A = this chain, B = another copy of it.
Amino acid sequence: MTILRNPPRRGFCADEFALRVQRMQSILRAEELDAVFVTSPSNIRYFTGFDSQFWESPTRPWFVVVPREGAIIAVIPEIGAPEMARTWVNDIRTWPAPCPEDDGVSLLADTLSAVPRRFGRVGAEMGREMALRMPVSDFLDLGTRMPEMKIVDGTPALWQARMIKTEAEIDHIRFICEVASDAYIGLPDLISIGDTERTAVKRLRADMCARGADSVPFMPAISGPGGVAQIVCGPQDRVLTQGDVLFIDTGATYDGYFCDFDRVYAVGSIDDAACRANEAVWQATELGIQAARPGATMESVWKVMATALQDAGSIGNNVGRLGHGLGMQLTEPPSFREGEETIIQPGMILTIEPGMEYAPGKMIVHEEDVVITEDGAHLLTIRAPREMPVIS
């Protein structure tokens, strides 16, 4: 019988959004920005709580302005006004869209020009790990419409805010991590040798949804003798065969927040080389969790894991890093990688994701999700067993 966990309350109260805006505004002041405007679904949801299936339609741009002081402003197509009015946002300005001649650009320019000006700089989603959801031509045009304001990259400021999760956000992510952990633990009861990768994903996904996940947009499953060649695409119709390693990763969501962690399973019994590599990666995960403390740089934690993997005979991997931030996106800054100087802080949620290719085409990757507190990293996931669970 499946034991269900209690999900946190859906949505967030107005106080939560006020807190997020307040934090953003203090960052804006420190970064000398008069405002930041956002266009992408996760940033708009972060500040307003607004979510919609209508994001599937890329025709009309939507904007939310967070000024350095005062209330946030939604600048949106008329079609969306009734729904935005249900959020905590009071200042909603609309234009009749779609309107290729001027799809909100002049209204956005007027709105930005009217925010209290001190620095003459406005941040936009120009940088990494987020995409601007408006035509670039319109974005360039926006600049010419407000010569008194300089548009600069607002991404570092936005990530500074979003990287530190609130208690309510942490509760959301903890829940989805636990749901996925429970389902991973139960997987060996759901599949057998002879099933396909597709069957594994179908059953695991259904079980996660039954346990409380809203959706599972990311669930690659790859199997191969002793390890796998890649970790992001699949499943295929490949049949699980004695001696395989089955790798499954999961980005499941609850109320807009992701988990992101994988598990590996032994199909029947795996050979010694695979066992040794698995032990090395499990140990590297331990080291990563211990090293991920407030004050440490991301690079230093990467170094601890990378050294352990290298000592264990890693010939590399194609993932490009050993973990990353997590939240409303499956992957967020910062990254555990060489040269990444971001300092770990309480409130960050990070994935610890060491992996090694121990022979050509044979990769083993582990992953856990942790929240950083004053006294170090705490697991949000139920720690993977040291030895691979067996599918028989």
Contact = CB atoms under 8 A, between A and B. Distances in A.
A79 B131 contact: no
Interface string A124-168: 111111111111110100000000000001010000000000000
A56 B251 contact: yes
A99 interface: yes
Given A135-B128, A233-B83, A57 B331 contact: yes
A236 to B, nearest CB: 9
Interface stretch (A192-200, A214-222, A380-388): A214-222
Nearest to A253: B56
Given A58-B131, A137-B126, A233-B82, A53 B219 contact: yes
Interface in A238-263: 251
Contacts of A186: none
A171 to B, nearest CB: 22
Interface stretch (A18-26, A315-323, A366-374): A315-323
A98 B320 contact: yes
A98 B324 CA distance: 11
A335 interface: yes
Interface residues of A, number: 60
A348 to B, nearest CB: 16
Nearest to A83: B233
A111 interface: no
Contacts of A101: 339
Nearest to A78: B318
A81 interface: yes
B52 A232 contact: yes
Contacts of A128: 59, 98, 100, 103, 135
A329 interface: yes
A54 to B, nearest CB: 4
A295 B58 CA distance: 27
Q: Which of A58, A77, A99, A324 has the most CB of B within 10 A?
A: A58
Contacts of A335: 59, 98
A58 B125 CA distance: 13
A96 interface: yes
Contacts of A79: 230-232, 318-320
A382 B98 CA distance: 28
A130 B78 contact: no
A311 to B, nearest CB: 21
A359 interface: no
A330 interface: yes
Contacts of A337: 98
Nearest to A39: B131
Interface of A: 52-54, 56-60, 77-83, 96-101, 103, 124-137, 139, 153, 155, 217-220, 229-233, 251, 318-321, 324, 329-331, 335, 337, 339
Given A58-B329, A59-B324, A79-B231, 17 more contacts: A54-B218, A54-B232, A58-B131, A58-B331, A59-B331, A77-B320, A79-B230, A82-B233, A82-B318, A83-B230, A83-B233, A98-B128, A101-B339, A127-B136, A131-B134, A132-B136, A136-B139
